[in-house]
Structure 1
Amino acid sequence: MSEPAHMQWSSAAVEGSDALSYWVDVVCDTFVGVAVRPDPDAVFEGRIETSVLDGVAFASLTAGPQEVARTRRFIARDDQDVLLVNVQLRGRARMEQNRRVAVLTPGTMAFLDSSRPYVLDFADDFSQLVLKVPKARLSHRSLNGATAVELDASGPGEVIADFLLGLDRLHGTDPRAAMALLPHAVDLLDTALAWTAGAVLPQASSALTSQRVHRFVRRNLTDPDLDAAAVAVACRVSRRTMYRALADDGESLTALIRRLRVAHAQRLLSTNSEQTLSALASACGFGGEAQLHRAFKAVTGITPGMYRAQCGHR
C-alpha cells in the first residue's frame, strides 16, 4: 500500500458552528493530541494540507489566533514519540516547553518534543510548515531539556528551513526525487539538534564520526551483510574509533542497526497487509524470520504479528 497523497482540510468545508470541533479533530489527527482554544473575539478559520514521505509527515497550515496545549493528560492518551519541527512562515508564535521559551517570527524554526507538555500561542493569523518526525529516525533523540529552541533566521537555521520548505514543494511535483532527498533532511535536523545540545560539530570529531555512522547505517540497513567492518571502512575510521564514538551516544552498533531495521519493519507492516514475515525480514536486512521476531520483540515488546494486528491488518 502506498503512502497517502496530499490531503487538504479546511474549516470552510463545515458549518460555522462546527468549525472549531472540526479543526480540533484535524489538528489531533495530523499532529498529536492537544487542546485548542481560539480567540473568542475572532471568527475562526483554519486550513491544513498534509502529505507523508517515508514516515515523515509534512503539514502546511494557515489559521487564525489560537492557543494549542499538549498536557500530560493528552500525552497519557496519545503517547506518540515524535519531534515536531515548526517553521514559521507568517505571523508570530510563542512556544513554551520544559520552562524554555522560543518566539517564532517568519523564517525561524523551533522544535517540540511530543513526549513532554507544551503550549503554543498564536496571537494573530499565522502560517507554518510543521514536520512530524519519529524520533527513531534521528540520531539525536533527546533535546537535553532545551526542547523549544529557536534557530536564527539569518544563520544556518535558515538554510535548514529553506531545505525543508523546498522538499515539501518537491514532494508535490516529483515524489521520487523528494524521497531521495529525505535522508539529507533528516541529517540536517540531526545537526540542528546537535547544536541545541551544545555540540560544536566542526571541532567534535567523535560527534562527526557518530553522525557518519548513523547516516551510513540508515542508508544501508537493508543490506544483510552490514556489520562493523563494513561500517568502519565506509566511514573511513577504525573500529575502535567507531565504537568509542557510538559509546558517547550510549548505543552500540548492533543496537543501532537493530533499532533502525525494526523501525523500517514497522513502517512496512503498517502499510502492507499482504507481505509475509519471511519477505519482510529479507526486505529489512534480517537473516530470517526468527531474527526479525527476536529483534522486533526486543525493541518494541511485541511480535511483528501483534504489531500488524494493532495497525488494523488481519
Structure 2
Amino acid sequence: MQQLSLRTIRSTEDVAAGDAFAYWSDVICDTLVHVAARATGKEPFRGWIEHTVLDGIGWSTLSSGPQQVTRTRRMIARDQEEFLLVNIQTAGQAVIRQDERAATLAPRSMTFLDSTRPYTLEFGDPFSQVVVQVPRSLLSGRSLDDVTALTLGPHGPARLVADFLVGLEQQQREDPVAAAALLPHAVGLLESILGLAARESTPHPSATALARERVHRFVQRHVHDPGLDAAAVAAGCGMSRRTLFRALAADGEPLTTLIRRLRVAQAQQLLRARPALPIAAVALNCGFAGTAQLHRAFRSLTGTTPGAYRTGGERAQEPAPL
C-alpha cells in the first residue's frame, strides 16, 4: 500500500542571517545524507528546500547560494541507509566528483551519486536542483560502480527521465494520489537509465579495433588455405586492402606475419597431437606451400625445426596461440 508523508519546507529566512549557513548545513544533513558544507559566495547565504517522501523515496527541491559540499567516510558511517542520489540540475551549474570522475551539470542534466562512497559537490553560483533519494534496496542490487558522477542529458533518454522525475515531483504537490500511482514507473525508468549509463561509460571499441578483430577471426578460420593473401582477406572481411592494412598497423604485425604466426601455431598443435603425421602433411594442412616453407617459418618463430619440436629434443619458443 502506498504511503504519503507530509511535505516540509525549510528556509534560511527562518533564522538570523548570522546563523543561516549553519542552519542550512543541519537541514541538508537531516533531509538528505550527512555532509560537510562550506559557503563559498560573497553575498549573505540563502537557501530553501522543500522535501517529501513517497513510498520510501525522497524528493527534494532546493535553491541555494554558492557552496561546496563534501561527504567523507566518517559521515558515511553515520548513516544507516544506503541511497542512490539522483541530482537533476534545474538552474545554475554544478561540478560533482565521485570515484575519480567529475560531472559538470547544466540545467536539465542529471547525474547519480552513491551515498556509500565519498563525493564532493561544488556550486560556484546560486543554483536549483531536484534530488531524488532512492533506497538501494529498490534497485535490485544493481551496481553503481560505472554510473556515478556521469553527466546525462540534457538530450535523449536521460532528458526524458529527468523531465519525468521533475514532473512527478510537481505532481506530488497537486495530486499526491496520482503521483503515488506513477511512482513504480519512476523506479523502472531509473533502472533503465542506469543500464544505459553503464553501457555508455564502458569504452566502445574503435572502428579500427573492430576491423582488426574481424581480420584476425577470418585469418584464423582460413589459415589452412595456401592462397590466403591480402586480397582474399580483404574480400572475405568486406573491406578494402587499405582498411585492412590500417587495421593491422595498430598492432605492428603485418598480414603476412600474422598468417605465418597462426600457421606455425597450428603446425605445433598437429605435431604434438598427431606424431605419426608426415611433415609434408603437416605443412599441407597448415597452408604452407611445402615442407621447406614450413621449416623456414617454424625455425624463424620457434628457434627449432618441426621434427625436433615433435620429439621434444629442442626447446622451442611458443608463438602466440591461435
Identify the TM-score tier after normalising by the shorter chain. Answer: 0.5 to 0.7
CA-to-aligned-CA distance 1:144-195 (integer Å, 9 cap, x gap): 2431111121111110011001111111111111111000000000011111
After TM superposition, list the pairs within 5 Å mapping 1:100-119 onto structure 2: 100-119=101-120
Question: Which runs of 5 or more residues in structure 1 are unaligned?
Answer: 201-314
CA-to-aligned-CA distance 1:12-47 (integer Å, 9 cap, x gap): 110011111110111001100000000152311000
The answer to whether structure 1 residue 87 and structure 2 residue 84 are counterparts is no
Aligned residues, how many? 200
Give yes or no for contact 1:93–1:122 (8 Å, CA) kept in 2. yes
Give yes or no for contact 1:67–1:119 (8 Å, CA) kept in 2. yes
Partner of 1:267: none
Counterpart AA for 2:56: G
CA-to-aligned-CA distance 1:57-87 (integer Å, 9 cap, x gap): 1000000000000001101122421000000
Q: Distance in 1 between matches of 2:105 and 2:141?
A: 22
Partner of 1:66: 67
Alpha-carbon deviation of 1:131? Answer: 0.4
Residue 38 of structure 2 aligns to a residue whose secondary structure is strand
Residue 197 of structure 1 aligns to a residue whose secondary structure is helix
Partner of 1:177: 178
After TM superposition, list the pairs within 5 Å mapping 1:239-254 onto structure 2: none
CA RMSD after TM alignment: 1.7
Residue 181 of structure 1 aligns to a residue whose secondary structure is helix
Residue 198 of structure 1 aligns to a residue whose secondary structure is helix
Residue 143 of structure 1 aligns to a residue whose secondary structure is coil
After TM superposition, list the pairs within 5 Å mapping 1:195-274 onto structure 2: 195-198=196-199
Give yes or no for contact 1:70–1:117 (8 Å, CA) kept in 2. yes
Q: Distance in 2 between matches of 1:154 and 1:140?
A: 27
Partner of 2:155: 154
Give yes or no for contact 2:60–2:132 (8 Å, CA) kept in 1. yes
TM-score, normalization by structure 1: 0.61
CA-to-aligned-CA distance 1:94-117 (integer Å, 9 cap, x gap): 000000111000010000000000
Q: Distance in 2 between matches of 1:2 and 1:184?
A: 16
Runs of 4+ in 1 over 2 A off after TM superposition: 1-4
Partner of 1:99: 100
Identity of aligned residues (%): 48
Could you say which structure has the larger radius of gyration? 2
**Cα gap change, 1:199 to 1:183, in 2 (>3 Å):** farther
